[in-house]
Amino acid sequence: MKNKGMNHSRAMRGYLHTSLIALSACTVQAASPLLVPPTLTGPVYNLSMDHGATQLLDGAATPTAGYNGSILGPTLIMNAGDFVTLNVENNLGEETTTHWHGLHVAPEDDGGPHTGIADGATWSPDFTVLDTASTMWYHPHLHGNTHEHVNLGLAGMILVRDSVEETANLPRTYGVDEFPLIIQDKDFGPNNTLIRANFGDTIFVNATFEPFLEVPSQMVRFRILNGSSERAYHLGFDDNRNYSVVGADGGLLEAPVSQNRTILMPGERLDVVVDFSSDNGSTVTLMSYGSTLPNGVPGALMGPGAGNALNGADFNLIEFQVGDQTASPITSLPTSIWTIPDRWEESEATVFRTVRLTRDGAFTIDNQAFDGSRMDQVVLKDTIEVWSIVNEAGGSHPFHIHDIQFYILDRGAQPVTGHETGKRATVRADNNETVRFIAKFETHANADVPYMYHCHILPHEDGGMMGQFIVVNPEEKLIDLTSSDTDVTLRWSQYLTSQFMSLQSTSDLGVSFSDIVSSPSVVDEKNQLILSRDPGNKFFRLLPVTTD
């Protein structure tokens, strides 16, 4: 029996249930077959957010919410390069958003807190899938309500496919040799109702309690997502076998990495292949080894949530019951997968920023709680930047940034290894450590719609541990006044305050930057800035103020 660490009452009930099955069937079985979400393929994806009820535990069904069902959502299969449209209908009875976590999309298509979907409305972003083969996900992101809506069950997986993945011959037959595993802990009140808690004491994979899954005795691929509010998992198998990490947050690694433990923080994904070829007739259990999580990582014995029954415990995630091979099994992995084409060097970076994770009662960033009307960073499109994330907040936090994928340069001045060497959109920052990453803010620019960066611990981001940035097109900042026009009209943004931008001209414009930002009369209803041209002016520039 492999229910190590499940020493709380609800897991105990599952344990007893399992024992009864074991008595009758003479084999060790977990309680329920794993729910494998259905897939949706494009180019048009229709999603509807609704309330429902889900039989999560014995007894009363639990009030939940989901996309196209009572909990979670379909797995969206996208092909790199496709132009896709997503129609997201909100039937929740309140405003929310849906964010495409990890996808490199324009800010207006990103589904962040500024892109609310009113109750009863349908939001229809469309974009070209610019990401390479990767494991992404989608979830609500309305500021202050993200935890509530994700906890109710609103979350789904996105799998981006491409020719690299196909050429590498990785397992990719969904539901046969490739499965999504969405790991979440939940906390329950009376009548099996969900409590919005930082840490739960009941573990679900794909909304299945104590799941088992029949897998073939060959290479099987798992797209693992930590969709939990705060808990990190320490992934490993009960027989300590190694598994091959082939991808992480932002896509495929250059070569499979063999590991037997991986820390997965909230929001992070892991793309792993497990070799079950010698296990026909056996069971193998994926565990979380909380007892060996470093203190300070949420879920460790000491640190955030200490005292929760699962903190510091080793517990089951899912039991794999290994059976016969499929007709055309994949039995080996390539030694190399591909060469990532855009691995930037630190010497290429022209902007260096520091973002501090702080705590002022509540968790904050740079000692400020999130304010949607305040712009925290302005990034020039196509700039290669290095961001230093300094954790002064205590405990470990998963820092997530929208728009781009980055490479980690170092954590605590040490290079990272294994699954952390690939492209990512989330990185763990440990207490009193600085994590540096490098990224290029390319393709998208919109001075009116911000992207977010935040801690992906849901109660932290809801509580204000979030900032925002806009990407502005440098081509928009140089306005040539050599034409004969007497007036010049410039697209303007409410976010371009004097904190970030200054005016420079060949002679006095007759208007100062502070006049512009303080006098609404010079910005018209279309958010356009109108300046009278002084004949002596050849040009003026809007310049980014150097931050940091």
| Contact between 397 and Cu ion per CB under 5 A | yes
Determine the interface stretch with Cu ion among 178-186, 188-196, 397-405, 502-510 (rule: CB under 5 A).
397-405
For residue 396, the minimal CB distance to Cu ion (Å) is 8
The stretch among 70-78, 319-327, 406-414, 456-464 that binds Cu ion (CB under 5 A) is 456-464
Q: Could you tell me which residues come within 8 angstroms of residue 404 by beta carbon, excluding any fewer than 6 positions away?
A: 104, 425, 439, 440, 441, 442
Shortest spacing between CB 135 and Cu ion, in angstroms:
22
The residue range among 140-148, 179-187, 377-385, 454-462 that interacts with Cu ion, by the rule CB under 5 A, is: 454-462
User: Judged by CB under 5 A, does residue 147 bind Cu ion?
Assistant: no
Task: Say how far apart CA 310 and CA 300 lie, in whole Å.
Answer: 9
Per-residue DSSP letter, 329: -
- Buried b or exposed e, range 189-224, using 16+ CB within 10 angstroms: eeebebebbbbbbbbbbbbbbbbbbebbbbbbbbbb
- What is the Cα–Cα distance from 317 to 236, expressed in whole angstroms? 10
Q: Which amino acid is located at 81 in the chain?
A: G
Task: Based on the shown chain and the rule CB under 5 A, indicate whether residue 221 belongs to the binding site for Cu ion.
Answer: no
Stretch that binds Cu ion, among 345-353, 393-401, 479-487, 497-505 (CB under 5 A): 393-401
What tokens does 316 get? Answer: 């089951």
Q: Work out which of 455, 470, 481, 529 binds Cu ion, going by CB under 5 A.
A: 455
CB-nearer residue toward Cu ion: 430 or 448: 430
Work out whether 139 is an interface residue with Cu ion (CB under 5 A): no
* Three-state SS letters, 39-75: EEECCEEEEEEEEEEECCCCCCCEEEEEECCCCECCE
Token pair, residue 341, equals: 């084409």
231 part of the interface to Cu ion, by CB under 5 A:
no
Total residues in contact with Cu ion, by rule CB under 5 A: 4
* Distance from C-alpha of 287 to C-alpha of 277, rounded to nearest angstrom: 20
Binding region for Cu ion (CB under 5 A) out of 17-25, 103-111, 390-398, 526-534: 390-398
| Residue nearest Cu ion, CB atom distance | 455
Which one of the spans 280-288, 396-404, 425-433, 525-533 is the region binding Cu ion (CB under 5 A)? 396-404
CB atoms within 10 A of CB 419: 23
**Cα(237)–Cα(231) distance, integer angstroms:** 19
Binding Cu ion by CB under 5 A: which of 460, 488, 500, 540?
A: 460
| 400 lines the binding site for Cu ion (CB under 5 A) | no
Q: What is the DSSP letter of 281?
A: T
256 vs 459 by CB, closer to Cu ion: 459
Q: Choose between 356 and 491: whose C-beta lies nearer to Cu ion.
A: 356
Measured from the CB atom, is 161 or 397 closer to Cu ion? 397
* Nearest to Cu ion of 110, 461 (CB atom): 461
Piece in contact with Cu ion (CB under 5 A), picked from 178-186, 416-424, 451-459, 500-508:
451-459
Give the DSSP letter of residue 523: B
**Burial (CB count within 10 angstroms: exposed 0-12, middle 13-18, buried 19+), residue 150:** buried
Q: How far apart are the first and last CA of the chain?
A: 55
Smallest distance, Cu ion to C-beta of residue 203, A: 21
Q: Which of 457, 458, 466, 542 binds Cu ion (CB under 5 A)?
A: 457
Question: Are the C-beta atoms of residues 452 and 466 closer than 8 Å to each other?
Answer: yes
Q: Does 378 bind Cu ion (CB under 5 A)?
A: no
Is the Cβ of residue 156 or residue 464 nearer to Cu ion in the bound state? 464
141 part of the interface to Cu ion, by CB under 5 A: no
Residues forming the site for Cu ion (CB under 5 A):
397, 455, 457, 460
